[in-house]
Amino acid sequence: MGRVPADPYVRRMTLTTTTAAAVSLRGVSRTYGAGPAAVRAVDGVDLAFAPGTWTAVMGPSGSGKSTLLNCAAGLEQVDSGQVLLGDVDLARASEAELTALRRTRIGMVFQSFNLIGSLTAEQNVALPLKLAGRRPPRADVLGVLAAVGLGDRARHRPRELSGGQQQRVAIARAMVTRPDVLFADEPTGALDSTAARTVLDLMRSMADQGQTIVMVTHDPAAAARADAVVFLRDGRVADRLTGPDARTVADRLVELEH
Ligand SMILES: Nc1ncnc2c1ncn2[C@@H]1O[C@H](COP(=O)(O)OP(=O)(O)O)[C@@H](O)[C@H]1O
Ligand SMILES: [Mg+2]
């Protein structure tokens, strides 16, 4: 009998080598502007994110992290290459199909939470279902809020919640449609370290339950909670780590900035 690797990331990679990636990018490029002013924000990136893995994306400011995330989430078009969500090619999807995919199979979380201030936590979480033309079952909405530890905050408005709680509402809103992948762009960037920890704990348990997460971060301690780290420089994959620890991540980041 073969040995089962102790490291959960390695184990998952072993088990999923024959399974389709949750998301894959093949030769993806994205340029802004034209002529001499053109900026190639993402430059021929190949990446595959296995189901149930949490990957951190790091790199200097302007290295293309947000552009890469937005291309992977179908929020931005690629100039060339393929973005596959499971076996669906986002570049070949129509605008209507893309909108439907983004509403049902992709969850997005941003640094600034982007909650609607006039709506309660419960109403914010229900919004993606309403936008998808579904009548949100209250039990589902409250269930997702409970899952992020905010079962008793359903009627609170964003200003009545701490930053960490607001970000957990945003994660609940991203998860209510049960997306295949959660994309997060610096989700802890606006949080103090205690609030950041509650959000990272939540993401860790989601990944352990099989959710695929791709998270941009500047923070080596946050990246160390993920299963793997991808480092970008000038729009290209410059390095990768699996089973990261904060010290190694910080050292690699310093090397990249030089
Ligand atoms: N909408 C845009 N128009 C023009 N240039 C952009 C736009 N968005 C990003 N860029 C440029 O693309 C590069 C990568 O940006 P970005 O993906 O935001 O990097 P990061 O998230 O790593 O800081 C940068 O040089 C940035 O100035
Ligand atoms: Mg960015």
Tens digits of residue pLDDT in 208-218: 999 999 999 99
Tens digits of residue pLDDT in 86-119: 989 998 888 899 888 888 899 999 999 999 999 9
Looking at residue 219, the DSSP 8-state letter turns out to be -
Angle at 189 between CA 52 and CA 110, to 5 degrees: 60
- Backbone phi, then psi, for 190, in 5-degree steps? -105, 10
Please identify, by atom number, the ligand 1 atom nearest to the C-alpha of residue 64: 17
Does the beta carbon of 64 sit less than 6 angstroms from any atom of ligand 1? yes
**Residue 3, pLDDT above cutoff 80:** no
pLDDT band, very low/low/confident/very high, at 7 (cuts 50, 70, 90)? low
Q: Which of 215, 179, 216, 252 is nearest to 63 (CA)?
A: 216
**Residue 18, pLDDT above cutoff 90:** no
Residue 187 and residue 212 in contact, taking contact as beta carbons nearer than 8 Å:
no
Q: Whose CA is nearest to atom 4 of ligand 1?
A: 32
Q: Which of 235, 188, 195, 233 is nearest to 213 (CA)?
A: 188
Please identify, by atom number, the ligand 1 atom nearest to the C-alpha of residue 59: 22
Sequence length of the chain is 258
Distance from Cα 166 to the centre of ligand 2, integer Å: 20
Q: Quick one: pLDDT at residue 133?
A: 87
Q: Given ligand 1 and candidates 43, 66, 71, which is best to mutate, with the most ligand atoms within 8 Å of its CB?
A: 66
Computed over every residue of the chain, the mean pLDDT equals 92
We find that the CATH architecture of domain 8-13+20-256 is 3-Layer(aba) Sandwich (3.40)
Lowest mean pLDDT among 4-8, 99-103, 154-158: 4-8
